[in-house]
Amino acid sequence: MTYNINKAIEILAQTPETLKSFLGQLSEDWIYNNEGEHTWSPFDIIGHLIHGEKTDWINRLQIILSNLEDKTFEPFDRFAQFQASKGKTLHQLLNEFEFLRNNNLETLKQLNITEEQLQLKGIHPELGEVTLSQLLATWVTHDLGHIAQISRVMAKQYTSEVGPWVGYISILNT
């Protein structure tokens, strides 16, 4: 599928409600458990998504669309959520994510980005030159990847409990 901003917004707009519905009524065992050392729990992942809403997608989009000579993005701290989420509940995080996402989508819609603008470029600190279209497509796939990650983390809590079916449950073997 070729990138289409309206189709992208379909996914981006659904992510907060999807996560609220999926995680909002679960016990702490589901929310705070992870896959082992140096892995993330669903709680950590929501914090990571919040950090992205604050510092990544729209900020980088604005750099690309700006008249700045240097269009290099600030590096993204993939672990900022650990400090930023301290003392917060999952419900607080889900509400904050929803608020930030809604604001960012309003900003995106108001920009009325053209096909020509989608080809404008910025500089990623590790990847080099990227287009606005690539950045916005990454926003969508980033959401979907973390939704899948949350499902995997939760499923793996029952890896030993499924007994002989473990070989048939593909999510337990990734």
Tens digit of each residue's pLDDT (9 = 90 or more) over 113-163: 999 999 999 999 999 999 999 999 999 999 999 999 999 999 999 999 999
The confidence score (pLDDT) of residue 79 equals: 87
Question: Closest Cα partner for 72 from 136, 128, 10, 1?
Answer: 128
Mean pLDDT of 83-107: 96
- Residue 82, pLDDT > 90, answer no
- Residue 1, pLDDT > 90, answer no
- Residue 174, pLDDT > 90, answer no
The confidence score (pLDDT) of residue 103 equals: 98
The confidence score (pLDDT) of residue 150 equals: 98
* pLDDT confidence tier of residue 89, bands split at 50, 70 and 90: very high
Identify residue 6 by its one-letter amino acid code. Answer: N
The model carries a pTM of: 0.95
56 near 111, Cβ under 8 Å?
no
**Mean pLDDT rounded to a whole number for the chain:** 96
